[in-house]
Amino acid sequence: MSIHIKEEANRCLQCKKPRCREEGCPINTNIPEMIRLFREDKIMDAAVMLFSNNPLSMVCSLVCDHEKQCEGHCIRGIKESPVHISAIENYISDSCFERLKLEKQESNGMKVAVIGSGPAGITIALRLALRGYSITVFETHDRIGGILRYGIPDFRLPRSVIDRYYDKMRELGILFRPNFSIGGSVSIEDLLKDGYKSVFVGTGAWRPRRLMIPGETFGNVHYAINYLNNPDVYDLGEKVAIIGAGNAAMDVARTAIRHGSREVTVYVRGSKVNASPNEFEYAKLDGVTFEYNKTAIEIKDEGPIICDTKENEDRSVGILNDTARLIPANTIMIAVSQVPQDRLVNRDKELHLNSKGNLETNDKGETTMKGVFASGDVVTGARTVVSAVKYSKEIADDMDEYMQGLKASQ
């Protein structure tokens, strides 16, 4: 493996204007420098640089949409295959993670509460812990990871990777309150009264978006985000119909096949899927079939009522109701994205939602409740892991500035 990765690294042209970084990487990873250090056998230097820029480098190297991002902008890819940047990054991050010696500043005596331990919460906790803050992470589930653990299949992101982050966070003195939901018996206001100088909300987007069609509450219907949370408790049967065509739909389809379903069909509203090309190709390799220009208008006990669709000139999609027919299926899986839950807003009235149903924040990530910050899917809606990390890095700086301002004014 290491020989193969070294050969791949040697293919890098070390471009003076690296499109892989400047145009392709959402978090601006210094890819040429990473590869240069690796080629010079300075792998720990490369790992430190990667972690400093992106604390979730090991995760992003596995789940990012590389063919559209770094590798999709590699100059090598114009006439041949691009440099396999993700494999190089993963090799460095994975092999060096436990050896990273993180320099933690002396304690500044200030406490920060982090609600949610998904990509945004982990990023905030790590960045602020290194700056001397005392961090407590509140997590609804029994294990950390959020969407990383409960929304991405293990065959794409091994759970052991997330467990390693937990150990690293414990090394930094970060405390955890698992199986504990803020917004129930305890509010954000309670946290502030207890002396937390600021609170970060990174609760993600866990409420499934509905199709709003008849039969959606039937027992043969499930939502993608609920299914991926714990596939082992579901018995989908042999025939599964999936409505939706994003990456979540691909994850559901591939997971269903691994759990014994024999006929898994994805119904695509338009003429092409929204999922990344790689995830689409993997789904086809696993045996998933696709039906294009089709959508469900109703669900029966026997399966979905499917209609053909037509793409209009303005790119909208019309439904051809006269083509409606029943498609026999044991289970109908709805995978059309998800939105944030409103538990916190209902408990702490100072928090406001925007017109899209996401938590409202200003350009510094501060919510409408003083001292409370947020980023990730709870602010943007369902996005990528790297997007959550990118903005959370910036919010960590804003939180630090806010709390240092409080200290200076005392």
Identify whether the C-beta of residue 88 lies closer than 8 Å to the C-beta of residue 40: no
Identify whether the C-beta of residue 275 lies closer than 8 Å to the C-beta of residue 297: no
Read off the amino acid at residue 163. D
Q: Which of 19-33, 260-274, 293-307, 343-357 has the lowest mean pLDDT?
A: 343-357
Both structure tokens of 266: 């994805």
Both structure tokens of 310: 């037509």
Q: Is the dihedral of CA 391, 157, 47, 77 positive or negative?
A: negative
| Highest averaged pLDDT of the listed ranges 99-103, 317-321, 329-333 | 329-333
User: Quick one: pLDDT band at residue 184, thresholds 50, 70, 90?
Assistant: confident
CATH superfamily, domain at 111-206+340-409: FAD/NAD(P)-binding domain (3.50.50.60)
Does the pLDDT value for residue 288 go beyond 60?
A: yes
Share of the chain above pLDDT 70, in %: 99
Q: Kindly report the average pLDDT of the chain as a whole number.
A: 94
- Residues 104-132 pLDDT 10s: 999 999 999 999 999 999 999 999 999 99
**Using CB atoms within 10 A of its CB, is residue 99 exposed (0-12), middle (13-18) or buried (19+)?**
exposed
- Residues 244-276 pLDDT 10s: 999 999 999 999 999 999 999 999 999 999 998
User: Nearest 5°: phi and psi at 116?
Assistant: 105, 135
**CATH number of the structural domain 2-99:** 1.10.1060.10
- Residues 336-351 pLDDT 10s: 988 777 777 777 888 8
pLDDT for 374 equals 94
Distance CA(201)–CA(407), nearest Å, equals 22
pLDDT for 407 equals 80
Does the pLDDT value for residue 3 go beyond 70?
A: no
Q: What is the pTM of this model?
A: 0.93
Across the beta sheet with 239-243, what order do the strands follow? 221-223, 331-334, 239-243, 263-268, 289-292
> CATH 1.10.1060.10 region(s) of the chain?
2-99
pLDDT for 340 equals 77
pLDDT for 317 equals 87
Does the pLDDT value for residue 1 go beyond 60?
A: no
pLDDT for 402 equals 95
**CATH number of the structural domain 208-338:** 3.50.50.60
> CATH 3.50.50.60 region(s) of the chain?
111-206+340-409, 208-338
Distance CA(182)–CA(9), nearest Å, equals 46
Residue at token pair 């993700």: 86
Alpha helices (H) along 230-327: 247-258, 277-286
3-state helix, strand, coil in the chain (%, to 5): 40, 20, 40
Q: Is the dihedral of CA 289, 292, 294, 295 positive or negative?
A: positive
